[in-house]
Amino acid sequence: MMRISDIIEFSVKNLTRRKLRTFLTIAGIVLGTCSIVLTFAFSYTITTNIEEVMKSGADINQITILRRKYNPNKGENKKKNRELLQNQNQDQDDETLDYGDELVEKLSKINGVDFVFPQCETYDLMHFCVGNQYVSSYFTTMAFDFNICTPANLKKMGYTLAPNCKFIKNTPKSKKKNIVVGSLFPYRFLDLKAKRWEDLQRSPYRVMYSYDTKKDMEPFFDIRKEKLKGIIFNSSGEKQLRKLIEKLYSQMDSENLADEDDETEDVSVTSLENISGDRFDINITGFLTEGDFDLFNNRNWQLLKELDEKENGWQKIDNLGSIYMDIDTFKELKKIKEKSSINNFNSSDSKNNKFAYDTITVVAKDWNAVQGIVEAVQNNLNYKTKSLLGDIKEKQKQSAGIRSMLLALGVITVIVSALGIANMMFMSISERTKEIGVMKVLGCSLRNIREMFLTEAGTVGLCGGIIGVGSSYGIAKGLSAIVRLASNENFIQSAVNNKFRAELVEFVNNFTNMFDLMEGKDVITIPIYLIIGGILFGLLVGLVSGLAPANRAVKISALAAIKQEQ
């Protein structure tokens, strides 16, 4: 009766006796295990990414209408790569496409559409002031169609309304404008009477990251109670405001930022009231918030800090510092701005001077209607679209071919490897026939002989499984590293004049289009259960492949084996 240690010792010696044959057999198992592990890893990664997209709150019913012509015969990946390398954001024919009210009306008539949500966005439409002391600094102006800004619709678009928030349309030509502001908008003001830099502006970031010792830093004023004025400065007024702020900076030992051209023009002012421009009374009808954050009742700065550290979380915080007005009001103020400003403020098509939105989003009634809407927009209106559901289906379709290929390769390789193990064991039996006979004569049981050959086959499979899983992990990490490298902005810019780098960027585009649904994630993720499963799979292949040779070994006659010549 042989001990387990003896069986293992004999098996290892027999495998190392024919090193090349053992190595080639293990290599086959490695290749098969690696192919199968990567196949299931692809499926796991895509499924996990889809689940994370769903958990992130992204609306699968939304369809973004792109301002590009739809061409079903055009190679999308090559086009994306060319635009990336040439740093072009639009096709040459973008400006010829309608992106205004006519398109919105056509989209709203498509079957399955719940509502169409057009948006405009700009940074320099107007300023706000409170008395002569406070003036707004940088912020974003967002324009929506207030007719569709119901709480339910806004929730679908990712906006959260504070209690009693209302979107009230303005009377045309009225000097009083209704707006909604983000909860952090009161922090967007400068104090023109500040004596120190730290008193110039109260930033929520200084509280979020504990730069200020005061836990709940108050805004300069309660925006619900103060009389707010909106001003669209003309060209002279813009210079006057800049001059006033530069004077403030100079008083705080700041560098004088005045342009030389401005010195020749009289822009001297002593207060905001004297700055020239069109003025409007502002009525704030509500606030947009985020999660449990409430500027007036619950300043949960930790919530905002955690949000800021998330991917694209800065965008939500920026939205909290923005203002929101009706699209008709935006059009009215835009015309005033275009006539009075020297900054070429323009939200219209440059060729036909038609008003154009910045973004048009179609929201389907349910996800089952998304595909029909996409086809209607592409085939009937000839616009390209982008939707989360479409991206998911396209990536699943593209990855299915890769998974099938890898799975087929893995299965074929495993079969060949299994035959290789069996062949190796049969050859080992023929070479060790006399040895087997001697073992039987000495009293070694048939069970021990079978266990010895199964141990050899299992060791080959186990080694192949371990190395195969390790290789799969290395490939997954290597591809992720390549993606991060080729996605680096500096690398992309340098790729323009380098053929190899340009081809690498194109490869990354094509590859990540299939698998990477969530930015910042690894292209391929191998979970722990797949690592364990891959190792056990290699062991199982080895054991199954060794069954027939082991059974043959125990059937060999002891006397015939001893008489056999080496």
In the structure encoding, which two tokens stand for residue 561, read together?
Answer: 């084996």
Confidence of residue 560 (pLDDT cuts 50, 70, 90): low
Confidence of residue 88 (pLDDT cuts 50, 70, 90): very low
Question: How many other C-beta atoms lie within 10 A of the C-beta of residue 71?
Answer: 13
Same domain (yes/no): 336, 400: no
Per the domain annotation, does 325 fall within a domain? yes
Confidence of residue 535 (pLDDT cuts 50, 70, 90): very high
The residue-averaged pLDDT of 79-95 equals 45
- Please give the backbone phi and psi of residue 131, each rounded to the nearest 5 degrees, phi first: 60, -145
Per the domain annotation, does 364 fall within a domain? no
The answer to which of 163-172, 173-182, 294-303, 496-505 has the lowest mean pLDDT is: 496-505
Q: For a pLDDT cut of 70, what percent of the chain falls above it?
A: 76
Confidence of residue 146 (pLDDT cuts 50, 70, 90): very high
Question: Above 60 in pLDDT, residue 263?
Answer: no
Same domain (yes/no): 129, 40: no
pLDDT at position 343, please?
53
pLDDT digits over 427-441, tens only? 877 777 777 777 777
Average pLDDT value over all residues in the chain: 78
pLDDT at position 1, please?
60
DSSP category for residue 273: G
Per the domain annotation, does 545 fall within a domain? yes
Confidence of residue 518 (pLDDT cuts 50, 70, 90): very low
Quote the CA–CA distance of 416 and 419 in Å, as a whole number.
5
Confidence of residue 90 (pLDDT cuts 50, 70, 90): very low
Per the domain annotation, does 93 fall within a domain? no
From 328, 344, 360, the end of a domain falls on 344
Structural domains counted in the chain: 2
Residues 316, 321, 326, 327: is their CA dihedral positive or negative?
negative
pLDDT at position 542, please?
86
Confidence of residue 488 (pLDDT cuts 50, 70, 90): low
pLDDT at position 357, please?
93
Same domain (yes/no): 255, 319: yes
* Residues 505 and 84 sit within 8 Å (Cβ to Cβ): yes
Same domain (yes/no): 173, 264: yes
Same domain (yes/no): 411, 555: yes
Domain that holds residue 468: 4-55+392-563
Same domain (yes/no): 51, 153: no
Per the domain annotation, does 97 fall within a domain? no
Tell me the pTM.
0.62
Question: Above 70 in pLDDT, residue 443?
Answer: yes
Per the domain annotation, does 44 fall within a domain? yes
- Please give the backbone phi and psi of residue 325, each rounded to the nearest 5 degrees, phi first: -135, 165
Same domain (yes/no): 206, 143: yes
Same domain (yes/no): 154, 45: no
From 310, 344, 378, the end of a domain falls on 344
Q: Which residues make Cβ contacts (< 8 Å) with residue 457, sequence separation at least 6?
A: 421, 425, 542, 543, 545, 546, 549, 550
Per the domain annotation, does 361 fall within a domain? no
Same domain (yes/no): 138, 239: yes
Quote the CA–CA distance of 36 and 468 in Å, as a whole number.
9
pLDDT at position 204, please?
79
The residue-averaged pLDDT of 277-291 equals 90
Per the domain annotation, does 75 fall within a domain? no
The residue-averaged pLDDT of 342-349 equals 52
In the structure encoding, which two tokens stand for residue 271, read together?
Answer: 């207060």
Same domain (yes/no): 41, 145: no
From 344, 367, 383, the end of a domain falls on 344
Same domain (yes/no): 327, 213: yes
Same domain (yes/no): 404, 333: no
pLDDT at position 470, please?
92
- Please give the backbone phi and psi of residue 428, each rounded to the nearest 5 degrees, phi first: -65, -40
Helices (DSSP H) in 260-369: which residue ranges?
301-308, 313-320, 327-340
Higher pLDDT, 507 or 268: 507
